[in-house]
Structure 1
Amino acid sequence: MNVKAILKEKGSDVITVSPQATVAEVASVLHQRHIGAVVVIDDSKRIVGIIAERDIVGAIAEHGADCLGRSIADVMWSNVYRCTEDMTVDNLMQMMSSRRARHIPVEREGRLIGIISIGDVVKAHIRAIESEAEHIKAYIAG
């Protein structure tokens, strides 16, 4: 299974913000949408960063509540790990595990087309294992 198959099932909707958004605005978006991260994009829809709940908590712990009025560009990760549609789920799991990343944006020709969370990867992996088990049961029974 690859990233394209996951996106086909879950959809390609990605919540994005501009680098000028404030930390408080992004925290509100995360809360309202019940998501763990947003991708920061520029005017040409190119990825310039990513910000997750734990990054906001870290910023508050380090700078206090005053950081809520700061630009998200001050606290986002600008070195964003990315993947493409043709990456396998196994390779994506390895990337997420080794880099301790819970959310990986998906790009096509340098443009954002989706996002994969660790939950999406786990669900896909479980489905693949269940499918394989069903095939083995059918083979044994048949």
Structure 2
Amino acid sequence: MSVEAILKEKGCDVVTASRDTTVLAVCQLLHENHIGAVVVVDSNERIEGIFTERDVVAAISRRGVGCLTQTLRDVMWMNVFRCTRQTSINALMDMMNKHRARHLPVEHNGRLAGIVSIGDAVRHHIRAIEYEAYYIRSYIAG
């Protein structure tokens, strides 16, 4: 199973922002959309960075509440780990674990093509295990 299966189920819509968006505006996007990350893209949908709930806490801790008026350019995470539609669920989970990333943008032909969360990956991994167990029980039962 691959990232493509996750995207087929959940869709490819991603909440994005530009690097000129304020931290406060992105906090509102996170809250209104019940999400944990916003992908920062340029006008061509190329990934420039990511800003997560963790980044909000880090920015306030380091810079104080005044950071809320700063732009993402000043506080976003620019070393964005990404995956492709062909990335397997196991590779995705390994990457998320290795980099301690809860969200990975999906990139296709250099552009943003979706986003997957650790919850998406775990949900699909559990489904695959349940399907395999069902198949084995069915095979044994004859």
Instruction: Indicate the TM-score class for this superposition, using the shorter chain for normalisation.
Output: over 0.9
- Following TM superposition, where does structure 1 have runs of at least 4 consecutive aligned residues deviating by more than 2 angstroms? none
2:108 aligned residue: 108
TM-score (norm 1): 0.99
**2:136 partner SS:** helix
Rounded Cα–Cα distance in structure 2 between residues aligned with 1:28 and 1:63: 19
1:21 partner amino acid: T
Whether 1:42 and 2:76 are equivalent positions in the alignment is: no
Rounded Cα–Cα distance in structure 1 between residues aligned with 2:99 and 2:34: 23
2:123 aligned residue: 123
Measured against aligned partners, the alpha-carbon deviations of 1:15-55 in whole angstroms (never above 9, x if no partner) come to 00000000000001000100000000001110000000010
1:17 partner amino acid: A
Tell me the CA shift for residue 76 of structure 1.
0.5
Rounded Cα–Cα distance in structure 1 between residues aligned with 2:125 and 2:58: 31
Whether 1:32 and 2:42 are equivalent positions in the alignment is: no
Indicate the RMSD between aligned Cα atoms, in angstroms. 0.5
Rounded Cα–Cα distance in structure 2 between residues aligned with 1:63 and 1:79: 20
Rounded Cα–Cα distance in structure 1 between residues aligned with 2:6 and 2:44: 25
**1:106 partner SS:** strand
1:42 partner amino acid: D
Measured against aligned partners, the alpha-carbon deviations of 1:101-138 in whole angstroms (never above 9, x if no partner) come to 00000011001010000000000000000000100110
% same residue: 58
1:70 aligned residue: 70
Whether 1:93 and 2:97 are equivalent positions in the alignment is: no
2:138 aligned residue: 138
Rounded Cα–Cα distance in structure 1 between residues aligned with 2:83 and 2:24: 28
Tell me the CA shift for residue 73 of structure 1.
1.1
Rounded Cα–Cα distance in structure 2 between residues aligned with 1:10 and 1:45: 20
**1:87 partner SS:** coil
Rounded Cα–Cα distance in structure 1 between residues aligned with 2:29 and 2:137: 45
TM-score (norm 2): 0.99
Rounded Cα–Cα distance in structure 1 between residues aligned with 2:3 and 2:34: 22
